[in-house]
Structure formats: structure tokens, C-alpha cells
A and B are shown apart, each in its own frame.
Chain A
Amino acid sequence: MTTVEEQLFMTEKEELISGSEAVAIACALADVDVITAYPIRPYDTVMQYVSQLKANGAFDCDFIVAESEHSQFEIVKHASSVGARTFCGSSGVGWFYAFEAIAVTAGLRLPVVAMVGNRALDDPGAFGVEHNDALAVRDLGWMLYWVATAQEALDMALMAWRIAEDPRAFLPMALSCDGSFLTHSQAIVNVPTQEQVNKFLPGYERGQLQLHPDNPITVAPQVNEDWLMEIRRQSNEAMSRTPGVIKEVYEEFKQVFGRGDPSPFLEEYMMDDDPDIVLMGMGTLALPVRVAIRRMREQGKKVGFVRLKFFRPFATEEVQEALGGAKAVAVIDRDYSFGSPSSGGVLFNEVRAALYPLDNRPHVVNFIAGLGGREVRVRDVEDMVDITQKAIDTGKVELECNWIGVRE
């Protein structure tokens, strides 16, 4: 009789699964040691699948249902310190409830991998997607990746441990998966074999930083102003090393599994002819954007799309190269940042800052869309392009931040 594990991972096969399920399968394939759960929609679907996999003997892990998100993230933080491979996750205000633990995990250089099922922040309570939850950790030393498909969720999860646990990084990584679109809809996913994964993903070795009686160290003593800048400088250095690690890992992944984009940082769509207008965004809104671009291309409009995959580390040079040739860039934010420069979204201001050093800066126009899980329609994308075209035509951006699809 074959075990469930063998049924699942002996042969490469296609499954009809959600992004959450894909990440859960990645947990099993990666032989994660400690996983912590706490319920909140929509990320918790991943933990439902993890618990099923464990219950059915698909893999062996310590699966702990914590009494709060704070404990959930503290538990994996400490498990990681003794050398265990870890996974956890959250959504919306749950992610914020864990914020203290999330901050220190990065400070301690612990390679925890988490899934954020992007969700609007309370109040008012809403289950739909907004990116503000995951984005809140952007300054802390977490690597942040925005997933667009279930396949990408599985692939990037496997890469996440490899990247995070690389001693050059030793930084935590979050996989942002748009609520509903990834957490609750299913797609055909190619599930690799255990053998392939074993070839790609070595065990987590914390080495001289492992907390163990054989390596009696003191971790994170109190510091004062004599030390903190040096410690922050080290973290900054580690984060600056991650693009190199990511490229290396991505290339190897493509070799072992035979799929992937040319760049780990950006997905470029219809960009070969240096279009005048480039749309930019993160996550699953890639879908309506691609459809809209195809329609507009049929109408003869030169429009392209760049999907930013890694928000942290932010691939400054790649972004400059991809967008620098355009006349105007339209940044779509599924987030907000009240009172920020131009009252724009988070991604908008980051992209605009990245383009600032260029000699020929394109116009940058911002669109806030799809908040709370509202649909970003093909028509909305076309509107964005029209507004952006106006900036090109008039030579100036009339309104830097435009809310799209909102009732007056």
C-alpha cells in the first residue's frame, strides 16, 4: 500500500488547487518542522490544508494552533532560532496583531517564511484584498514577494526557504497572496516530486548562530546607542546581498524544475517594443491588466505592463531599466497611504522615487484601485491608460493620484 506521501509526491503531476493549497503542499515538500496557525480569513485556508496534510501523514511537522497571532509568530521565531524550518502566516489586522514578533524576527535575522493572505485592515471589517497589511513590514528587513498565480505560490514558497535560509541573507520572507483570488480560487498547478525538491532545497543550517547547548550563545541582549547603528548596518548589508542570492536561486530553480520568468524581480508583458505607456502593479491584478492591454494593442495603443514581484528587496535598477524608456508610467496601487507625497499609494511613491535619478524621467501617474477586494475591471484599466495618455499629450500630470472605480 502506498502512503499518502507517496501518492502525492512520487511523480510530477497536475492538480487543481488554490494558491493556499499550493503553499501548503510546498510546506510538505520542504519538510517544514514547525508550523503555527491562528484563524483569520483569508490566509487561514493554507493552514486548513496544512493540517489535512499532517493528519493524513503526508508530512511530519509540529503543527501548533496558537492562542493569538502574536504567539503564532513568536513560536516560529523561537523554533527558527534552534534551527527548525518554519512557516506561518496571517491576514489584515491579524498580521498587525503579530507585529511585534514580526519586527523582531527580522531584527534577529531569523529566516521564517510566512504567507500573507492580503486583506483589508479593520475597521470596518472586510475580507477582501488590500496590500496595506503586508506592506507595513516594508522597512523592517522582511523580503516581500507578491504572487500572481497558484503555480507561482508553490514555486516561490520552495524558493523562499532557500533564499531566506541562505546565510548571506538569514532574513524572513513573506509571500503575499491576494485574498480570494489566490486563497480561494483554484487553478491547474504542476506539483513537483519530492526528489526534485530535495535536489533543490537543502536543510536549514543556522551554524554558529544556532541556539543550542553545544553552541552556548547569548542572542539579542539589550543594546544602547553604542551598538544599534552597527546592528542596523548589518541588516542593511544582509538585505543588499539578497538580490544576488535571489538571482542565483531563481536560476537554479529554473534548471531543476524547468519553469520561470527571465527575471525573478519583474514580469514584463508586451514590453518588447518599448511602449509609450507602461502600467505597473503587484499581485493578481495582472490578470485584468493583461486582458486590457491585449484589447488596447488591438486598437493600436502602445501599452505594456510590468508586474513587480519582489517589493523587498526593491529591484531599483531593473525597474529603472524597464520603465525608463516609457513616456509615462501608470502605477496601480491596491493600497493607500493617507497623507503621503501626492496622497499616492505606497508602490507609486516607491516607483517614482526609483525613477527620480534618471535623466529622462517618465511621467508617473498613480491609480488607487481594487480596495477591499473590489474588482479591477478591464474598463478601469483602459481608463487609467486614457488618463495617462493625457499626461503625455499635455506634457503634465494633472492629478497625480486618481481613485478608479469609486462611487462619487
Chain B
Amino acid sequence: MTLVRDLPQVRGVKNIPIQEGFTSGHRTCQGCESALTMRLMIKAAGPRTIVVGSTGCMYVANTTYYSTPWVVPWMHTQLGSSGAAATGTAAGLASMMRKGKMKDEPINVIAFCGDGGGVDMGLAGISAALQHEEYNLLILCYDNESYANTDIQVSGSSPWGANSTFSPPGKVHRIMNRRWKKNTAPMLAAGHPSCRYVATACASYGLDFTNKIRRALTIGGPTFIHVIDPCPKGWDYDPKYSHELGMLAVETGLWVQYEIADGELTLSGPSRAIQSGVRSRKPVQEYLQRQGRFAHLNEEDLEFFQSRVDESWDEWWLPGVVPFKRPDEE
């Protein structure tokens, strides 16, 4: 197994590294939370990192030929290839370092994908990557809940009822997307005992996100982080509210933040406070009504949405995380 870079946890927001590995000059939307995710990801990982990015906004809008926002080495990979790209990059480095063809040093390998690339098309590849204990790699899924680059089409990670160019509310069918969002991170954590670290996060909680990136890279082996990224274009809200929407997703209990390190589950931030009863969940309506993609939802829809979220907290074995019903306690 190759060396792992030891990245200490950052204590306090003011100690987040000042150096940038992702700078300006990307062509993303105003208020793009995914661009912020990229920026904080590489801040946390540092300059001895190779980033591989699969097709999506963070490819097309981010790196437009003849210029780049990346300070660190970066390479494109295909939409469904984040797992294979991470594996190939890590394997190439590991092999050459072992054989003395390249200086032996810890180099972080991060492959990112959107929800289309990760939750849909690339799921099998990610699953395979998470089986290779001998490679240090982190797969980061930035989830803006649609195929955003291709003009906002519904993905397996889109929320129920959301408007998209493939699920437009119509005169006969108000709700075109009847699928409930996939529960990706727990699926990967449960299914891959060789993966020592899985987490969920959001760039709105910058410090928490930074530390999760660092923990994943420091634990080593194949790891996975799933990040929710409010998308001002596809979700349809004033770009200045990206940060706030991220927080609302967590505060309403819709997006649960946690990490699973060596099999141990720890909820973080507001999710933890909700779980322990220190604070109560905000009504989901507060989050949904801020977004144009839910503008067509009626009272009944909102109630249904709320009931599904309630169920995930009240009836799931691990609230908000694992959708198995709690066994009868006798």
C-alpha cells in the first residue's frame, strides 16, 4: 500500500488553509455551490493532489479550453468513469512508485463526479473502486440533484416532484418525477467493507466539509464523500442564497450529515443536534418553497414530502441514514 498524506484536522474556520488550488476563471453560474465545493475540496487536500473530474458542470463550465481555474493537476474523465479514473490514476502512481520508476511520496488522488455520473451512470465503477483497499483514492460526488450541465434533467438523485426539463409539471401530470432520491452514501458504506470512510457533507458547512475531506485522505484506501450542492440555476433561486439553501437542506432533515469511519457512524452539525433532540427539524416547506423547481407543488404534495422525511427520522433504524425499519424492541 502506498503512503498516505497526513492531513491534520482544521480547528476553527480561521485555520482553513489560505492557499488556493482552484481559482477564478471558471464559467459556472453565479452562486455556484459546486464550484465552491471544488475550491474547498482542494484547499483541504493541498497541492500534492491529482484531481480527475468526470463530465458535468464541473467539467464543462469549469475548464473551458485554453484556460483553467485549476492550480493542481487536473484531468477529465468520462461521465461514468470517476471510479475507474481514480483507480487508474492511483494504480499508475502506486505501480511506478513501487517499482522505483517514480519518487515514492503520498499523492492524493481525488475523482469527482456529479449525481448523474456518480449516483446513476458511474455507480458500478465507484463500487468497484471502493473494493481496492490497496489504492488511496477519494471519490467525491457533488450532487446538485440533476444533470445540470445538459440543461437540468432529472437524475436518480433528484428529489421527488422536482421540475426538470425531463420532468416538467404538465396539465395532466403535475408530478413527473415520482422517484425518491437514492440513498447513495449509506448504500456504498454498507456494501463495501473495504472502504474505511464514507461521509456526507455540504460546502455551506465549510469547516465540516474541509475536515471530512482531510479525514478521508488521511484514513486512506478507497473513500467516498457525497456532497449536496444547491444549484441556483436548476433549483431556481436567487444565487445569493446558495449557502442558505445548503443549510436549510440540513436543518429540515432532508440532507443528513454524517461520517462513517471504520464502521462507526457519527452525525455532524445540525443533523447531530436533530438526532439527539437538541433541536427540532424545520418544516420541509421552508426549503421547498424557496425553490422554483418546486413551485408547482400543492399542499398535498408538501404534506407528502414532509411525511417521507418524518418517516426517515421516526421509523428508520438509523434515523436519516439507513432505511430499514427499527426492529421491535422487547
B49 CB to nearest chain A CB (Å): 7
| Chain A residues within 8 Å of B89, by CB | 78-79, 81-82, 211
Q: Does A31 contact B (CB under 8 A)?
A: yes
Q: Are A222 and B96 neighbours in the complex by a CB distance under 8 Å?
A: no
Q: Does A408 contact B (CB under 8 A)?
A: no
Q: Are B84 and A78 neighbours in the complex by a CB distance under 8 Å?
A: yes
Q: Are A60 and B99 neighbours in the complex by a CB distance under 8 Å?
A: yes
Could you tell me the dominant secondary structure of chain A's interface residues? mixed
Residue picked from B48, B91, B102, B132, most chain A C-beta under 10 Å: B91
| Chain B residues within 8 Å of A216, by CB | 47, 70-73
Q: Does A156 contact B (CB under 8 A)?
A: no
B77 CB to nearest chain A CB (Å): 7
Q: Are A80 and B92 neighbours in the complex by a CB distance under 8 Å?
A: yes
**How far does the alpha carbon of A5 sit from the alpha carbon of B218 in the complex, in Å?**
36
* A77 and B73 contact, Cβ closer than 8 Å, known pairs A61-B95, A213-B47, A221-B68: no
Stretch at the interface among A63-71, A130-138, A354-362: A63-71
Q: Which of A206-227 contact B (CB under 8 A)?
A: 211-213, 215-224, 226-227
Q: Does A74 contact B (CB under 8 A)?
A: yes
A217: which of B59, B66, B73 is its contact (CB, 8 Å)? B73
Q: Does B127 contact A (CB under 8 A)?
A: yes
* A82 and B92 contact, Cβ closer than 8 Å, known pairs A31-B99, A33-B99, A220-B76: yes
A32 CB to nearest chain B CB (Å): 9
| Chain B residues within 8 Å of A100, by CB | 78
In this complex, how many residues of chain A approach chain B with their Cβ under 8 Å: the count is 44
**How far does the alpha carbon of A283 sit from the alpha carbon of B68 in the complex, in Å?**
45
Q: Does B80 contact A (CB under 8 A)?
A: yes
| Chain A residues within 8 Å of B127, by CB | 67
| Chain A residues within 8 Å of B205, by CB | none
**How far does the alpha carbon of A171 sit from the alpha carbon of B74 in the complex, in Å?**
20
Q: Does B75 contact A (CB under 8 A)?
A: yes
Residue picked from B75, B86, B92, B94, most chain A C-beta under 10 Å: B92
**How far does the alpha carbon of A226 sit from the alpha carbon of B59 in the complex, in Å?**
18
Q: Are B50 and A211 neighbours in the complex by a CB distance under 8 Å?
A: yes
**How far does the alpha carbon of A34 sit from the alpha carbon of B92 in the complex, in Å?**
6
| Chain A residues within 8 Å of B95, by CB | 33-34, 60-62, 79, 84
Q: Does B101 contact A (CB under 8 A)?
A: yes
Q: Which of B120-134 contact A (CB under 8 A)?
A: 124-125, 127-128, 132
Q: Does A201 contact B (CB under 8 A)?
A: no
| Chain A residues within 8 Å of B93, by CB | 82, 84
Nearest-CB residue, chain B, relative to A228: B65
Q: Does A76 contact B (CB under 8 A)?
A: yes
Q: Are A104 and B101 neighbours in the complex by a CB distance under 8 Å?
A: no
**How far does the alpha carbon of A281 sit from the alpha carbon of B59 in the complex, in Å?**
44
Seen from chain B, the residues whose Cβ lies within 8 Å of a Cβ on chain A are 47-50, 52, 59-60, 63-68, 70-78, 80-81, 83-89, 91-96, 98-99, 101-102, 107, 124-125, 127-128, 132
Q: List 12 additional A-B contacts (Cβ < 8 Å) besides A62-B94, A67-B127, A218-B73.
A: A34-B95, A60-B98, A74-B81, A78-B77, A79-B91, A79-B92, A82-B93, A84-B95, A216-B47, A222-B64, A222-B76, A223-B64
Seen from chain A, the residues whose Cβ lies within 8 Å of a Cβ on chain B are 31, 33-34, 60-62, 64, 66-68, 70-72, 74-84, 86, 100-101, 104, 203, 211-213, 215-224, 226-227
